[in-house]
Amino acid sequence: MAGILFIISAPSGSGKSTLVSEVRRLVPGLDFSISYTTREPRGSEEDGREYHFTTRENFERMIAAGEFLEWAKVFGSNYYGTAVSALDHARKLGHDLLLDIDVQGALQVIRKMPAAVSIFILPPSPDVLERRLRNRSQAEGFTDEAVIAARLAQARTELAQIADYQYALVNDALDEAASEMRAIVLAARGKGSAADAALAAQCLTVAHAPRLQEALASFGVTGGD
């Protein structure tokens, strides 16, 4: 079954990009949608690899032309969006598509495409998230305390929406999180073993897995209802 849309969301600094790369290595036929953004490239980022970097004027032209599956203005400044053409291209190749988008954009897509498979990735605790954010900032050669504080606050806001997602997994160990996401992809495709199906079922938000509940509680978020 090709053409499945997988929506992936996570707070900034959750290790989402590394996890998605590992799952694509493990599972064939998964295309990755490269989002458009008006923000400036960071560190070693390249246009067409991490993002399609574009101007505000061009982004707003694309909005007016209806070229986005979803788009959002993040932190009140920069635009981010997913082009409709990404899904069309994957379907023509007989592939499934991974969308790496924030909660605001994800909820737009979930409403438009209820058959999409939505997955929320979260860090195990605020302390771990803050450490990852600081490490990334140091690697980029610039640490802005206000930005880190804003992203930690945004993470709590995003986690409060976790019940809108079908699946949730805690990214504390890459191998374990990759196995869980692989199982979710195979289950959506109607493939994989009974063990894969059972592992995917444990990641359902309605399953209230103890590891998930512990991570949510550390952020001051209760339940997944």
Q: Is residue 136, in this structure, part of any structural domain at all?
A: yes
The pLDDT of residue 48 is 87
| CA 2, chain centre distance (Å) | 20
Q: Residue 97: which residues within 8 A CB-CB, separation 6 or more?
A: 3, 4, 5, 6, 30, 31, 32, 33, 86, 87, 90, 91
Q: Is residue 68, in this structure, part of any structural domain at all?
A: no
Q: Is residue 37, in this structure, part of any structural domain at all?
A: no
Q: What is the CATH number of the domain that holds 12?
A: 3.40.50.300
Over range 133-151, report the average pLDDT. 79
Q: Is residue 105, in this structure, part of any structural domain at all?
A: yes
Share of the chain above pLDDT 70, in %: 95
Q: Is residue 76, in this structure, part of any structural domain at all?
A: no
Q: Residue 38: which residues within 8 A CB-CB, separation 6 or more?
A: 53, 54, 55, 56, 59, 78, 79
Instruction: Find, among 128, 107, 127, the residue nearest to 7 by Cα.
Output: 107
Q: Is residue 53, in this structure, part of any structural domain at all?
A: no
The pLDDT of residue 3 is 85
Q: Give the 3-state DSSP-derived string for the chain, with helices as H, strands as E and coil as C.
A: CCCCEEEEECCCCCCHHHHHHHHHHHCCCEEEECCEECCCCCCCCCECCCEEECCHHHHHHHHHCCCEEEEEEECCCEEEEEEHHHHHHHHHHCCEEEEECCHHHHHHHHHHCCCCEEEEEECCCHHHHHHHHHHHHHHCCCCCHHHHHHHHHHHHHHHCCHHHCCEEEECCCHHHHHHHHHHHHHHHHCCCCHHHHHHHHHCEHHHCCHHHHHHHHHCCCCCCC
The pLDDT of residue 161 is 93
Report residue 158 as tokens.
């995003």
pLDDT at 32 over 80: yes
Long-range contacts of 56-65 (CB under 8 A, 24+ apart): 62/36
- pLDDT bracket for residue 207 (50, 70, 90): very high
State the residue range of the domain holding 181: 5-32+96-218
Q: What does pLDDT average to over the chain?
A: 90
- How many separate domains does the chain show? 1
Over range 70-84, report the average pLDDT. 85
Q: Is residue 174, in this structure, part of any structural domain at all?
A: yes
- 135 CB neighbour count, 10 Å cutoff: 12
The pLDDT of residue 38 is 96
- pLDDT bracket for residue 223 (50, 70, 90): low
Q: Is residue 48, in this structure, part of any structural domain at all?
A: no
